[in-house]
Amino acid sequence: MKIVSIAEDKKIEKRISITPELVKKYISIGFEISLPKNYGVHLGFVDEEYKSQGVNIIENEKDLIESSDIIIQHGLPSNEKLSYLKENQILIGVLNPFANKEKLYTLVKKKVNSFSLELLPRITRAQSMDILSSQANLAGYKAVVESFAYFQKAIPMMMTAAGTVPAAKVLVVGAGVAGLQAIATAKRMGAIVFATDVRMASKEQVESLGGKFLTVEGVENLETEGGYAKEASDDFKKKQEDLLSETLKKIDIVICTALIPGKKAPIIIKENMIKNMQTGSVIYDLAAVQGGNTAFTEVDKIIDKDGVKIMGETNILNKLPISASSLYAKNIFNFVSNLLDKDNNKIKINLEDEIIEKTLIK
């Protein structure tokens, strides 16, 4: 059984799907690994390092794809590369089925088995494969570091003979994986942290990290069975808006993480709220690529609105590509291992397995 990974467009995606540390693990369970020339060199993983672990380096990507049983990627490959895929091959990655519906339907018609890992069910057995959690964890950390770098005051409280510098106040909007890591990171750096989320289950998690949970009066529990946030009612949105408007007047840094799978990100921080914020405040919007949680978010730009900086990037994890690749590659390995039928050491697409059934594009 042959596994390959092809080069991503590095202007968009610097993460890789196979790191040298995982090659021996694949080989130990019966796989042969082939990669293109200079596959990981931009992260410091030279071809010789891969070769020493048993990887075949193949220069022609068409030959590489056509000779494979399984292709593992991060994003969906280009149309040209997809055209090389053939019946019964397996493609695994973050395929974004909401945006790539037509391309994936074409692969279904070709009888290519495509697995999109952002569709993983939120069950205990799938935790080691959960790419959304592993990557969001890093994104939450990096968003805090980036916003602190642009904030022009000290973060922790400092008492000096010349006077006291107050601790920065941070608000985290959305207490999922990214939000919780943002809370933890901001607390470690000495900030006073507040958080809000539509899911009441988040309250205990926020408080366990030392954050103060902002609760809307008469709150609804807006959580799906899969553990994601769902859209709020107009009444809830109005109450949340009033609470945020008052809170933001005293906040220095805001980390926005609120996303609804497959939909445009909800606009939570509106124009009038930003006007009431203190000059010099910073907003980092992790939801930028899906439209953003603020009224002014623009992808890959820093917008200055009435002295408030609003930041958002296409892919913040391109600033942590080595750590992100290490975790992503392990998630993928665990997913591939789950596809392996241990009795005959062959790949088996068992649709009775919830992990396989939920992630397969049909």
Burial call 85-94: b when 16+ CB within 10 Å, e when fewer: beeebbbbbb
Which listed residue (122, 128, 150, 353) is catalytic? 122
Distance of alpha carbon 84 from alpha carbon 285, whole angstroms: 37
User: In what helix (H) or strand (E) does residue 91 lie, and over which residues does it extend?
Assistant: strand 90-93
Q: Note if 50 is an active site residue.
A: no
Which listed residue (78, 83, 127, 233) is catalytic? 127
Q: Note if 26 is an active site residue.
A: no
Structure tokens at 263: 């939909």
> Which are the contacts of 28, defined by CB distance < 8 A and separation ≥ 6?
none
- Burial of 248 per CB tally in 10 Å (0-12, 13-18, 19+): buried
Which listed residue (228, 245, 323, 337) is catalytic? 228
Please provide the DSSP assignment of 115-175 as one string.
EEGGG----GGGGGG-HHHHHHHHHHHHHHHHHHHH--S-SS-EEETTEEEPPPEEEEE--
Q: Note if 130 is an active site residue.
A: yes
Which listed residue (133, 135, 147, 325) is catalytic? 133
Catalytic residue numbers, as ranges: 122, 127, 130, 133, 228
